[in-house]
């Protein structure tokens, strides 16, 4: 452990007039302990499910590069937990030790997400998947319940169907007391045409369901249940080792940008699917992908709306073409072959006068956009973006001069402690504060980044979220003020 880092983290925290909330730390579940507890909690089926989940990635790492290349299997993470820093490894494994070290890390309160459990929500078959998530949620809450004034864990919610999602939401919230949930998305599903026409090949090709637009199911009952339970969903999904991140030999090639890619897919689905229009009370969090993608997406959503809204589509509507005028210009400037084709009416609509059979030509119809102000209500106020401490792009979120409509996006501090990219837990807060020292954020920006945005993410829908915690009073003051 770096004593300098510890001293610096404490020094920075002592200089601030507000708490620091870590909105996305991780613990490193200890497999032997999990197996023992899973058997107690869920019996043989829970142990079977855990073994299935534990075998998926190690199996790919046992293959040679040549075999992964032959099968087109991406290189997965290896050596992804701390080892040289023994204290940090133990801290990630043992909630009590993390609790005791929070002051050394400069943290007042932390939300803890899984490591091994990050992919549990997407494992087939349903019986094992549901047993796995249920056992994990019981186990994890048991580990963290004694430390709830400063540490709370996130539950895993499987999302293959609304029914299984709602059942686990109810259990996690009402019976276990979870206030934070990690939901699955980019659900792998079979392609119906292949199932019907080439069933022998169907299991090898899948599509990825972002669950909020063009989904296999209507997930509005899930969002309604979140509203009823006062839970703001968070998504910690990745897109590693699929599509354009599928190198069989290079993990970093697969890893860089994959959280951002998955977050963008989910945010676009929620926005275009009209979820924030139908459920304006709910905030949505996208973790560990930073905020750069969110800034470009925000600008692109507005830019595309300006060019593709219904009245703007008239600029490209084939019916608006003055064919006589075009023929006159072709006769003056075109070659004979061009003139004859125009006279025949050929080539004047590259789309073949087709629109793909969509019911509404307005891609923003579900959002019911009336003016640019709606982007503030449906995107800026509803979406929150988890950012790691050492990412200088975090400053972009707060730069109203760079973002359309002078927007400040809701970036919030996510330490990622417990993983390979945090070699020293005591350095996380100092790394985050470097944005202030380098003049990229001011003190107000930093307060929003490490405190207020996290409070609003969870507290706007659930004003009691921080009740009984070490930051209860300060959080209540934030929520009492209008945005």
Domain co-membership, 134 together with 259? yes
pLDDT of residue 57: 65
pLDDT of residue 351: 62
DSSP structure string for 226-290: HHHHT--EEE----TTSTT---SS-HHHHHTTHHHHHHHHHHHHHHHTTHHHH-TT--EEE-SS-
Confidence band of 349 (pLDDT split at 50, 70, 90): confident
pLDDT tens digits along 86-135: 999 999 999 999 999 999 999 999 999 999 999 898 888 899 999 999 99
Confidence band of 264 (pLDDT split at 50, 70, 90): very high
Nearest alpha-carbon partner for 150 in 90, 100, 188, 89: 100
Domain co-membership, 339 together with 287? no
Torsion sign over Cα 465, 160, 288, 131 = positive
Confidence band of 5 (pLDDT split at 50, 70, 90): low
Q: Is residue 367 part of a domain?
A: no
Share of the chain above pLDDT 70, in %: 98
Backbone angles phi, psi at 25, to 5 degrees: -95, 175
Domain co-membership, 246 together with 178? yes
How far apart are alpha carbons 156 and 236 in whole angstroms?
10
Domain co-membership, 300 together with 315? no
Q: Which residues pair with 181 in a beta bridge?
A: 155, 233
pLDDT of residue 110: 98
Query: Residue 104 in 3-state DSSP?
Result: helix
User: What is each CA distance from 72 to 55, 116, 200, 427, in whole angstroms?
Assistant: 18, 23, 19, 38
Domain co-membership, 284 together with 319? no
Domain co-membership, 337 together with 300? no
pLDDT of residue 36: 95
Confidence band of 1 (pLDDT split at 50, 70, 90): very low
pLDDT tens digits along 366-421: 999 999 999 999 999 999 999 999 999 999 999 999 999 999 999 999 999 999 99
Query: Residue 51 in 3-state DSSP?
Result: helix
**Which structural domain range is residue 162 located in?**
3-306+372-480
pLDDT above 60 for 352: no
Burial 149-163 (b: 16+ CB within 10 A, else e): ebbbbbbbbbbbebe
Q: Cα 27 to the chain's mean position, in Å?
A: 18
pLDDT of residue 359: 83
Nearest alpha-carbon partner for 26 in 78, 75, 85, 98: 98
Higher pLDDT, 243 or 362: 362
In this prediction, residues 331-340 reach a mean pLDDT of 96
Average pLDDT, the chain: 94
pLDDT above 50 for 427: yes
State the DSSP code for 132.
H
Domain co-membership, 170 together with 199? yes
pLDDT tens digits along 274-329: 999 999 999 999 999 999 999 999 999 999 999 999 999 999 888 899 999 999 99
pLDDT above 50 for 233: yes
Q: Which residues pair with 183 in a beta bridge?
A: 157, 235
pLDDT tens digits along 79-94: 988 899 999 999 999 9
Which CATH number covers residue 33? 3.20.20.140
Q: Is residue 231 part of a domain?
A: yes
Q: Is residue 366 part of a domain?
A: no
In this prediction, residues 135-155 reach a mean pLDDT of 98
Domain co-membership, 353 together with 390? no
Q: Is residue 261 part of a domain?
A: yes
In this prediction, residues 192-205 reach a mean pLDDT of 92
User: What is each CA distance from 170 to 138, 221, 222, 282, in whole angstroms?
Assistant: 13, 12, 10, 17
pLDDT of residue 483: 80
pLDDT of residue 347: 86
Nearest alpha-carbon partner for 391 in 419, 425, 432, 424: 432
In this prediction, residues 165-177 reach a mean pLDDT of 98
């Amino acid at each position: 452990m770096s004593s300098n880092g510890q001293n610096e983290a404490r020094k920075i925290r002592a200089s601030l007039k507000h708490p620091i909330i870590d909105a996305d730390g991780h613990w490193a579940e200890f497999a032997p302990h999990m197996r023992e507890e899973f058997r107690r909690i869920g019996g043989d089926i829970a142990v079977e499910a855990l073994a299935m989940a534990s075998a998926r990635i190690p199996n790919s790492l046992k293959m040679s590069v040549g075999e992964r290349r032959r099968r087109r299997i991406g290189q997965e993470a290896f050596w992804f937990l701390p080892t040289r820093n023994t204290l940090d490894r133990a801290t990630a494994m043992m909630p009590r030790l993390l609790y005791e070290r929070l002051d050394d890390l400069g943290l007042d309160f932390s939300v803890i997400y899984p490591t091994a459990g990050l992919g549990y929500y997407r494992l087939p078959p349903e019986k094992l998947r549901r047993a796995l998530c249920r056992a994990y949620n019981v186990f994890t809450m048991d580990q963290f319940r004694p430390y709830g004034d400063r540490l709370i864990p996130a539950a895993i919610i499987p999302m293959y169907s609304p029914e299984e999602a709602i059942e686990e939401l109810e259990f996690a919230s009402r019976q276990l007391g979870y206030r934070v949930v990690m939901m699955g998305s980019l659900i792998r599903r079979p392609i119906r045409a292949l199932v019907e026409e080439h069933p022998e090949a169907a299991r090898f090709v899948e599509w990825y369901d972002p669950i909020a637009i063009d989904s296999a199911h209507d997930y509005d009952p899930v969002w309604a249940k979140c509203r009823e339970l006062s839970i703001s969903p968070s998504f910690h999904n990745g897109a590693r080792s699929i599509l354009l991140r599928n190198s069989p030999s290079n993990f970093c090639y697969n890893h860089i940008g994959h959280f951002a890619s998955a977050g963008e897919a989910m945010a676009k689905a929620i926005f275009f699917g009209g979820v924030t229009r139908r459920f304006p009370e709910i905030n949505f969090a996208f973790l560990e992908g930073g905020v750069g993608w969110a800034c470009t997406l925000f600008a692109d959503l507005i830019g595309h709306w300006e060019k593709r809204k219904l009245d703007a589509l008239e600029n490209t509507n084939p019916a608006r073409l003055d064919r006589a005028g075009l023929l006159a210009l072709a006769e003056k400037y075109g070659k004979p072959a061009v003139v004859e084709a125009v006279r025949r009416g050929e080539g004047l609509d590259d789309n073949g006068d087709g629109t793909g059979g969509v019911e509404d030509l307005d891609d923003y119809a579900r959002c019911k956009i009336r003016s640019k102000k709606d982007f503030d209500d449906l995107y800026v106020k509803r979406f929150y973006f988890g950012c790691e401490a050492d990412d200088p792009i975090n400053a972009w979120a707060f730069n109203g001069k760079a973002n359309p409509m002078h927007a400040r996006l809701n970036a919030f501090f996510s330490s990622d402690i417990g993983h390979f990219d945090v070699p020293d837990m005591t350095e996380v807060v100092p790394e985050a504060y470097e944005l202030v020292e380098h003049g990229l954020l001011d003190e107000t920006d930093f307060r929003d980044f490490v405190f207020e945005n996290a409070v609003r993410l969870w507290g706007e829908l659930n004003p009691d979220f921080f009740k009984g915690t070490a930051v209860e009073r300060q959080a209540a003051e934030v929520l009492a003020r209008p945005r």
